[in-house]
Amino acid sequence: MKVVVTEPEYKKALSVFQNTEEFQCVPAPSDEVGLAARIRETDAKFAVVGVNKYSRELYDAIPTGGVIVRFGVGHDGVDKTLAKSKGILCCNTPGVLDDSVAECAVGLMLVSARHLGACSAANKAGVWNPCMGAELAQKTLAVIGCGHIGRKVAKIAKYGLGMKTVGFDMAEPKDASEFDEFTFDFNHAVKNADVVSLHIPGNPATRDFINQDRLKMMKRSVILVNTARGSILDEDALFDALQSGSIAGAALDVFKTEPYAPQDPEKDLRALAGIVMTPHIGSSTVDACERMARAALRNIALATQGRINEMHLVTE
């Protein structure tokens, strides 16, 4: 049975995709037209895809009864309604990447607080500048979105770094034990925070959730970390906040447009000193990617066995 896998994801877990006995995995372009063409050429019923947006051709190319698996957890790039109308199942691979994304978020906090990236770049360029940073122990972390990843970040910050943790979400979290405090009030969550880390999903309701007004609720010394989705942050408002000094720093792993391109050419985040920008690598560890690949293929195997209820289906 053939499974088409978008190239970046195929490369991230080569050993799993190349060594499965159950399936023949075929790498494919990530762009929708190229992906659809590869599905037709190979007569595949199943596709494993990355974070690109898929809105049309993919759903015409996959036959009824086929499966689209997101290699990852966020499924904002997949049109579940369109898939359903064509009899295609959609699923993702939750739970297996939480440690990697949480470690990345905590790493970005430290890189930002201690200017590690800038110091390393300066040192390598021959500039010995022991710059001053901020300690995180005893400081307050606001975790925006208390799902699996947000809670893991809180756990590392609280028990590893000795930070005070405040959780914010729109619904009660499954478990709030990693939080010193939990609140439904965003302003309350961020007003005393030294670091704000974003962990809400990207969907129409959360678009630009972090906007000018919400940035204004934060302290001037705050560091904002986003390892969730670019869509949840108004990048132009962030530019203004950083440039005017109304917030101190930001560390972003995800962007509205990936690879990064500024929304407003006059507000290019790359021009600012107080920002760290990584290329969506939260889950890019050998460990997490191999688990995601295995989980993706397991979802497909379950579909072929009619064990639909055991799949990680995503419907909206």
- Which residues have a Cβ under 8 Å from the Cβ of 41 and sit 6 or more positions away? none
| Residues in touch with ligand 8YV (CB under 6 A) | 8-9, 12, 50-51, 71-74, 97, 280, 283-284
Which strands form 195-198's sheet, in the order they lie side by side? 181-183, 164-168, 140-144, 195-198, 223-226, 249-252, 275-277
CB nearer ligand 8YV, residue 101 or residue 222:
101
Amino acid in position 282: G
Q: How far is the CB of 202 from ligand 8YV (least distance, A)?
A: 8
Which strands form 46-49's sheet, in the order they lie side by side? 24-28, 2-6, 46-49, 67-70, 89-91
CB nearer ligand 8YV, residue 6 or residue 165:
6
179 touches 154 (CB < 8 A): yes
The rounded distance, in Å, linking the Cα atoms of 262 and 274 is 16
Residues belonging to the active site? 229, 258, 280
- Which residues have a Cβ under 8 Å from the Cβ of 195 and sit 6 or more positions away? 109, 113, 136, 139, 140, 141, 142, 157, 163, 222, 223, 224, 225
CB nearer ligand 8YV, residue 94 or residue 274:
94
CB nearer ligand 8YV, residue 139 or residue 280:
280
CB nearer ligand 8YV, residue 49 or residue 218:
49
CB nearer ligand 8YV, residue 72 or residue 274:
72
The helix/strand/coil state of 150 is helix
Q: How far is the CB of 74 from ligand 8YV (least distance, A)?
A: 3
Residue 66, token pair as written in the block: 């086929």
Q: How far is the CB of 203 from ligand 8YV (least distance, A)?
A: 12
Q: How far is the CB of 30 from ligand 8YV (least distance, A)?
A: 9
Q: How far is the CB of 103 from ligand 8YV (least distance, A)?
A: 13
16: Cα within 13 Å, side-chain hemisphere: 22
Alpha carbon of 76 to those of 52, 227, 254, 305: distances in Å?
9, 15, 13, 27
Q: Which residue is nearest to ligand 8YV (CB)?
A: 72
The rounded distance, in Å, linking the Cα atoms of 262 and 239 is 10
| Maximum pairwise Cα distance, the chain | 62
Q: How far is the CB of 205 from ligand 8YV (least distance, A)?
A: 17
Task: Quote the radius of gyration of the chain (alpha carbons, Å).
Answer: 21
